[in-house]
Amino acid sequence: MIQEIKDILLLQKRELESRLRENYVERETELKLNNNIIKVIVGPRRAGKSFFAIHFLNKRGEFGYVNFDDEKLIDIKNYDELIEAMNSVYNNPKFVLFDEIQNLSKWELFVNRLQRQGFNLIITGSNSKMLSKELATHLTGRHFPIHISPFSFKEYIRLEKKELTTAEIKEKFSKYLIYGGYPEPLVKSLDIKEYLSILFDSIIFKDIIKRYRIRNPKEIEDMAFYLMSNIANEYSYHSLTKTSNVKSSHTVEKYLGYLEETFILFSLNRFSYKVREQLSSNKKIYCIDNGFIYSKAFTLSPDYGKLYENLVAIELKKKEMFGKLHVYFWKNQQQEEVDFVIKERAKVKQLIQVCFNIKNRETKKREVRALLKASRELKCNNLLIITEDYEAEVEEEWFGIKEKIKFISLWKWLKEKDKF
């Protein structure tokens, strides 16, 4: 059995060596190896988790690598044989990378044991539970979470490996807005729509339908398709039962949880100081990458307003994942809305509106009025409106409410080092 495992790892090693020769874009995420704390890298499939880890480790010398996204490995019963085979192939490595480890049965116990034995471990996974508070109960040793998403806009323009003019940056942004930032089709010049459509379907089948043994796959497929076509819209579990042909709100909630676990989608709660009210209110749905919307949503033409809002939601969600802030949307009884409420600890730090076409007078009036009302209610005067290309800092007044509002174009906001 050890020789069979060794043969699998030898083939994986050849693939690894081939990947190290591919074009690599430096990511914004930092990783430190100066201790034996378990490093947990999570994010969507194909977002570049293992690519990031192997290039980082390669700069520091030899390391062991096992990819558990291989059906020949996931049924292994004797983990000691796996370690023996890995030590043979990689000459007793100091550092070890376990890729897509959530596919391995009882992986938590295995990883804990190796950490106690002195291995310096990096593990990757495509399931959000690996980044949640539940991880603390699974990994008894200390661990450090790292999140890798598809390219941010700053990473996207690094693909050019040269300084770009403003006109070139804007041209790049117009493509990023539609096609998103999944690394592989960009680096290898693949057909983006075909690639992301296949990836989306693979995630639904492999990480949800197969793993959770969904009896009626069409239900969750239809629900995912509906949500992808309604990005940045509100939903409730009850409303989704009517539109997605799923029989119960409980099943809808369960399916949505599966979709969010795989990082395809994420939700924002409506802001309220009352937790019960916050949890019972409608939520808003967003997607981890605009390319998925392009490849899977039912739409005749791009909804630029929704695409703009989704890009902002992605950036804010990344910050939230590491506990740097909490993100909500705000809505009052008059149905006036602010797209994003940024909260740190007990204080609302910033209010953000996203408006693609701010040049329309009525649109601007509506966006500003809602922002000023939220400013008064939430006691926050850090007000921002993200636009297509309008930039200014002006004082706005509505019925005695007077505050300064900053306007900035989305492409410039995405490039800012410190947005908050």
CATH classification at residue 12: 3.40.50.300
202 and 129 share one domain: no
292 and 363 share one domain: no
377 and 263 share one domain: no
Q: Please tell me the predicted confidence (pLDDT) of residue 32.
A: 74
163 and 289 share one domain: yes
Question: What is this structure's pTM?
Answer: 0.92
Statement: residue 340 has pLDDT above 60: yes
pLDDT tens digit string along 225-261?
999 999 999 999 999 998 877 889 999 999 999 999 9
Q: Please tell me the predicted confidence (pLDDT) of residue 391.
A: 93
9 and 79 share one domain: yes
92 and 169 share one domain: no
- Domain ranges, residue 264: 151-302
pLDDT band at 417 (very low <50, low <70, confident <90, very high): low
Statement: residue 26 has pLDDT above 70: yes
Count: domains in the chain: 3
Instruction: Record the tokens describing residue 139, joined without a space.
Output: 């990994």
Q: What is the mean pLDDT of residues 356-384?
A: 93
Q: Please tell me the predicted confidence (pLDDT) of residue 75.
A: 81
Q: Please tell me the predicted confidence (pLDDT) of residue 341.
A: 98
Q: Please tell me the predicted confidence (pLDDT) of residue 143.
A: 81
Q: What is the mean pLDDT of residues 112-137?
A: 79
171 and 292 share one domain: yes
What strand order describes the sheet that includes 120-125? 63-67, 95-99, 120-125, 38-42, 143-147
Q: Rounded to whole angstroms, how far apart are CA atoms 301 and 295? A: 12
Q: What is the mean pLDDT of residues 28-49?
A: 85
Q: Please tell me the predicted confidence (pLDDT) of residue 121.
A: 92
133 and 155 share one domain: no
Residues in the chain: 420
Statement: residue 281 has pLDDT above 80: yes
13 and 137 share one domain: yes
Closest alpha carbon to 1 in 83, 91, 89, 81: 81
290 and 355 share one domain: no
Beta partners for residue 337, in sequence order: 331
Q: Please tell me the predicted confidence (pLDDT) of residue 103.
A: 87
In whole numbers, what is the pLDDT of the chain averaged over residues?
90
Q: Please tell me the predicted confidence (pLDDT) of residue 127.
A: 81
Q: Are the beta carbons of 284 and 306 closer than 8 angstroms?
A: no
Closest alpha carbon to 38 in 130, 143, 182, 187: 143
Q: Are the beta carbons of 153 and 414 closer than 8 angstroms?
A: yes
pLDDT band at 405 (very low <50, low <70, confident <90, very high): very high
Q: Please tell me the predicted confidence (pLDDT) of residue 324.
A: 78
270 and 376 share one domain: no
188 and 98 share one domain: no
Q: What is the mean pLDDT of residues 11-38?
A: 86
pLDDT band at 105 (very low <50, low <70, confident <90, very high): confident
User: How many other C-beta atoms can be found within 10 angstroms of the C-beta atom of residue 89?
Assistant: 19
| The domain boundary residue, chosen from 241, 269, 302 | 302
| The domain boundary residue, chosen from 302, 324, 348 | 302
Q: Rounded to whole angstroms, how far apart are CA atoms 58 and 110? A: 24
Q: Please tell me the predicted confidence (pLDDT) of residue 247.
A: 82
| The domain boundary residue, chosen from 278, 302, 326 | 302
